Structures are given as C-alpha cells and as structure tokens.
Amino acid sequence: MSATDIARQVGEDCRTVPLAGHVGFDSLPDQLVNKSISQGFCFNILCVGETGLGKSTLMDTLFNTKFEGEPATHTQPGVQLQSNTYDLQESNVGLKLTVVSTVGFGDQINKEDSYKPVVEFIDAQFEAYLQEELKIRRVLHTYHDSRIHACLYFIAPTGHSLKSLDLVTMKKLDSKVNIIPIIAKSDAISKSELTKFKIKITSELVSNGVQIYQFPTDDESVAEINGTMNAHLPFAVIGSTEELKIGNKMMKARQYPWGTVQVENEAHCDFVKLREMLIRVNMEDLREQTHSRHYELYRRCKLEEMGFKDTDPDSKPFSLQETYEAKRNEFLGELQKKEEEMRQMFVQRVKEKEAELKEAEKELHEKFDRLKKLHQDEKKKLEDKKKSLEDEMNAFKQRKTAAELLQSQGSQAGSSQTLKRDKEKKNLGFL
Ligand code: GTP
Ligand code: MG
C-alpha cells in the first residue's frame, strides 16, 4: 500500500472527538512565531533598472537607512549585478536583507544580451539552494538563502510606452521571480500623463504575456487591500532620503524651485503603497511564492534535465532509487560503449601506425639496397681505375727501365768514342 493510500484511509477513518479539557496544542502557532523570530528572517530584493533611475535612493527610502553603494558610470562594457547583505532589526525581529542591484543596465549600444546576467544571477541562487538541498548533510535552517524574493523593475518615466529592453527583460524573468514593476522618478511625469502611462504599461505587459506578481487575494485578512493595490500597479514612486520640515513634522521629500514633493504623501506618489505591499503585507507571500512557484519550477526542470522522473512510461510511480539505478545503468552502458569505441580506435590506430612503420621500413630497405648497389658500382669503378693505373704504372716502369738501359748503353758507347778521339787528338799533338 502506498503512502497516499494509507493517508487516504487514515483521513477517511478520522473522527472528530471533543477534548475534556485544555491540552495545550493551541500554542502551536505561538511556538512557530517564537521559533521564527529566534531564527530570524531573510529577504532578498533585486532592483533592475537603467543607471541613475533611483534604485539606491529608493532602497534607502524604503528601509529608512543609508545602504552602501557608489553610483555607476554610463561606460560599463556589460551588465553586472552588485549584491550587499545587511542585518536589520525592528523591535525584536531580525531581518537579513540582501539588496541586489543591476550595474550598467541599458548603457550598452547593443542591449540584446542585457537580460542575461540578471537571469543567470537568479538561476545561480536557485542552483546554490538546490545543491544544498541535494546534499547528504544539509543544513537548510542555517543556510543563507540568497534566492531573489522580489524584483523591483524600474521603468523610466517617459510617459510613452515600455522600451523593448524592459519588455524582453521582464519576459525572461517572469517565470523566475516575482516582478513588481514601478515607475521610477514619477515626479517627472504629470498626473494625467501618469494615469495614461500606467494604462499603457499594463496593456503592453498583458499583450506581451508578461506575468507580473499579483498581491494575493486568497487570504481574507488582506484580500481587500491586495485587490485594490493590484489595480494600482505599476506603482509610481519617488525616492528621497532628504528630510524637510513640512508643517511641524520632518518628512522625506524632494524640494524643487516650484514646490515640494512628499515621498510618503499618497496624493503625491505610490511610495507608501509600495512599502506597505512589499514589506508590511506581502513579504511572507513573496518568500513563499519564490519557494513554491519559482524555485519549484527551476528544481523540476533541473531534475528532469538530469533524467529524474516521478513516473515511468506506464505512469507508475518511479522512485528516486529506480531512477538512480536506471541512470547508473545507462551511464555504465555508455561508459562501456565509449570504452569499446576507444579500444577499437586504439587498435585501428595501432594498425595504421604498424602499416606506416612497415612502409617506412620497406622504404629504408630499398634505400639501403640502392645505396649498397651504388656503393658497389663505385667500388668496382675505382678498382677498375686502380687496375688501369697499376697497368699504366707497370708499363711506365718497363718503359723507364728500357730507357735507362738504353741510356747506359748510349753513355758507354759515348765514353769509348771520347777516349778514341782524345787518343787521336794526342797523336796529332793537340794535347
Ligand atoms: P546607479 O546605481 O548608478 O545605476 O543609479 P541608481 O539607480 O541607484 O540611482 P540613484 O539612487 O543613485 O539616483 C540617481 C540620481 O537620481 C540621484 O541624483 C538621486 O537624487 C536622483 N533621484 C533618485 N530618486 C529620484 C526620484 O524619485 N526623483 C527624482 N527626480 N530624482 C531622483
Ligand atoms: Mg545605485
């Protein structure tokens, strides 16, 4: 019997019985609250918007503090994300707040890939959580969850329509994060223009199928306010950390030569609506939606990509163990196949090399034979030459001996004639 069958049976057999007295489990919600408070909370906001649209100022205004961060230049070669985490405390509630902001968004001539670093950042946080979840020894309760709970998308107060960069980016992000679009620096736009601008933005988002975050209306206690606020989206906000004395109160405002804009005045802008919706009313829903909707989708796709399935081809439940075994066998099979392929390739290569070597050896032999023959011919030629030279030498020697003999005979004959002539000369009285 499967776990669901058992659960169903237990459910069917379950009877309501009255308690005779106080037991104490009515304190469970309080226990939960106390535990949560002692653990603390974490909330991660991503601000996406062009450089100088007032992202940092709005964060400072929202949390009533001065966060760190330098203004970006307009010369960034690409889009980057800057993340800072802060520990905040309000009453006895601790909040680990992470503010991630785009740097250089919308500053490049080619903005085609501007959304990519943002998508990659969001995915990287999901991946880190998934890796922690898949660990054998996981410590999720102390793990710093960096998944983005809310994405404030800053729209420039042009009064026209959404830029294609905004539409493309929001479209790429809407299945990964809760998008809350806001019209930044809304003091730059007149009241009537703002109404039209809001309508235009909403219709463009709808016609392009961009899913923005809707404040939940299923909880009765907040259904009314959330329902009303959904109709006010996108919120037109103004940010300022400057405090001015208005009446006898210090208020956050922006002062202009012609007057003062009060940030927290609902007649001037939607800042209070945003703060209420984002922080006071729906922070927990944003966290929950991130986990149950966006992370769940990421996890499902990732596990399916890795080959995990809940059911087999016959729609029967498929356990993790079976998936693992199937994957392991598939992997081993592939490994064997690869091994065989590599062996075949090796044998083939050896054969080729052997043939190459044989060919080279044959060539060497031929060369050797050729050289040997050449050498023999040369040797024979030299020997012939030597022989002819020796013959010549012998003939010369013979000639030389004959000549010497002839010369000696000649000289003998010469000397006897001289003697005879001397005798004759003596006789004649010359000597
Ligand atoms: P980068 O981080 O450099 O991308 O800029 P950013 O989006 O963080 O803008 P930042 O908050 O630094 O504000 C840029 C300028 O706009 C500052 O001079 C702010 O005072 C001004 N600013 C911020 N919010 C508003 C606003 O609501 N209205 C007007 N008119 N100016 C604003
Ligand atoms: Mg900034």
pLDDT at res. 419: 72
CB 123 within 8 A of CB 67: no
Q: What are phi and psi of 210, to 5 degrees?
A: -85, 125
Using an 8 Å Cβ cutoff, are 81 and 101 in contact? Answer: yes
The tokens describing 257, both together, are 């030569």
Q: Which two tokens stand for residue 193?
A: 């223009």
Ligand with an atom nearest the CA of residue 186 = 1
Q: Which residues, listed in sequence order, are joined to residue 84 by a DSSP beta bridge?
A: 99
List residues bridging with 88 in a β-sheet.
95
Which residues surround ligand 1 with Cβ inside 6 Å? 49, 51-57, 71-72, 101, 185, 187-188, 238-239, 254
Beta bridge partner(s), residue 83: 100
Tokens of 200: 């235009």
pLDDT per residue, tens digit, the chain (431 aa), is 455 555 555 556 789 999 989 999 999 999 999 998 998 999 999 999 999 999 999 999 999 888 887 777 777 788 889 999 999 999 989 999 999 999 989 888 888 888 999 999 999 999 999 999 988 888 888 888 999 999 999 999 998 889 999 999 999 999 999 999 999 999 999 999 999 999 999 999 999 999 999 999 988 888 889 999 998 889 999 999 888 888 888 888 999 988 889 998 888 899 999 999 999 999 999 999 999 999 999 999 998 888 777 776 677 766 777 777 877 888 899 999 999 999 999 999 999 999 999 999 999 999 999 999 999 999 999 999 999 999 999 999 999 999 999 988 888 877 777 777 777 766 665 55
Measured in angstroms, how far is the CA atom of residue 104 from the centroid of ligand 2? 10
Which single residue is written with the structure tokens 């969850």? Answer: 145
Position 425 scores a pLDDT of 67
Q: How far apart are alpha carbons 64 and 240 in whole angstroms? A: 10
8 Å CB contact between 84 and 99 = yes
Ligand 1 atom having least distance to the Cα of 49? 7
C-beta of residue 219 within 8 angstroms of C-beta of residue 225: no
Quote the pTM value.
Answer: 0.74
